Amino acid sequence: MQNKTNRPAIVNKQSFALITAALVSALISGCGTRIDAIQDTATYALFGRPDLTLTAEQIDERRFPLQYVTLGQQPRVALGLAFNDKGLYKWLSQSQEVLVTHHGRIVQTQGLKNDLAWVDNLAADPLVCLTKGGSHCQLNWRTTAQVGNGLDMAETTIQSRFEQQGQQTLNLTHTDPMQVIHWRETITTAAGEQWVNHYWLEKETRRVVKSEQTISPAFPLTVTEEIKPYSGDLNSGGSQ
C-alpha cells in the first residue's frame, strides 16, 4: 500500500476560492480578453448547467479540455480541465465539485455527498501502461480505495483483471466516428463482490475517450465521455 503522502492531492477550497476571486475581479474590470486557461475553466464551472449538451460553437469557444460525466443516476454534466498536476487531471463541475483522473481512471473527488478519498498503488494500474501504448502490460492489479466523508469512511481492497475486447468504431457526441480499443476490467473485492468496468482507448493516441467505471461498491458507476481532448494527450500519445 502506498504511503498517504503519495496519494493524489486534489484542488482544495482555498485554491478554488482564489480562482473564483480572480475571475470575479476580471469580470468587474470589464476585461474582454482571455484571462488564462484556469480562469476560463472556472467561468464554465460556475455558470454551466446540468444536462447541458454543448453545441459545436460552444465547444470551439472554450480553449480548455471538456468531458461529460454521469455519476450514478445524477444528470449528465460537463466538466472543464483546470489543472494537470503531474499526471493528475483535475476537472471542475458547474457546482464546484472536483473530479481527478489518472490515465483515464477516476481516483479522487471533492464536494460530493460520498467522496472517493484516494486510490492506492496507481503506478501499477494497467491503465498507465495501456494508455502509454505498452505492448507487454501487466493486466492484473491490486489496490485499496477509500470512499466517504468525515467519520463515515469505508476502505475496499480489490483485485482487477483487464481483458482486451478488440477494436471498435465509437461514435461520441461531438466527434466523427473514431477507431478505439475496448478494454474490459473485471473487479473483485475481498468480500466476493464483482463488477465490470469498460474503457475505450483511441487507437492512435491511446487516450481514454470513454469509460464506464467505479473503484468501489460504495461509489456510483460513473460514465465519462470526451468532448474536447487535452492537447498534452494528443502530443504525448497517452491519456492521463
As a whole number, the mean pLDDT across the chain is 82
pLDDT value at 204 more than 50: yes
**Residue for grid cell 500500500:** 1
All cell numbers assigned to 139: 493486466
SS3 29: helix
Which pLDDT score is estimated for 10?
58
Strands 194-202 and 178-189: antiparallel
Task: Kindly tell me if the per-residue pLDDT of 240 is higher than 50.
Answer: yes
List the single range of 27-31, 181-185, 194-198 with lowest mean pLDDT: 27-31
Q: Residue 77: which of 102, 95, 50 has the closest Cα?
A: 50
User: How far are the Cα atoms of 40, 66, 189, 201, 240 from residue 105, in angstroms, in the given order?
Assistant: 24, 16, 18, 12, 8
- For 162-168, what is the mean pLDDT? 97
**Out of 27-41, 168-182, 220-234, which region has the weakest mean confidence (pLDDT)?**
27-41
Q: What is the pLDDT of residues 103-152, one digit of tens each?
A: 999 999 998 989 999 999 999 999 999 999 998 999 999 999 999 987 78
Residue corresponding to grid cell 475581479 = 25
Domain limits, the chain: 56-233
Average pLDDT estimate for 24-43: 40
* pLDDT the model gives residue 178: 96
| pLDDT tens-digit map of 171-180 | 998 888 999 9
56-233 homologous superfamily: YmcC-like (2.40.360.10)
Can you give the pTM of this predicted structure? 0.83
**Minimum mean pLDDT range among 36-45, 109-118, 179-188, 213-222:** 36-45
pLDDT for position 2:
45
Q: Let me know: does 227 contact 175? Beta carbons within 8 Å.
A: no
With 0-12 / 13-18 / 19 or more C-beta atoms within 10 angstroms meaning exposed / middle / buried, residue 166 is exposed
- Rounded average pLDDT over 192-201: 98
Output the pLDDT for position 161. Answer: 98
pLDDT band of residue 82 (cuts 50, 70, 90) is confident
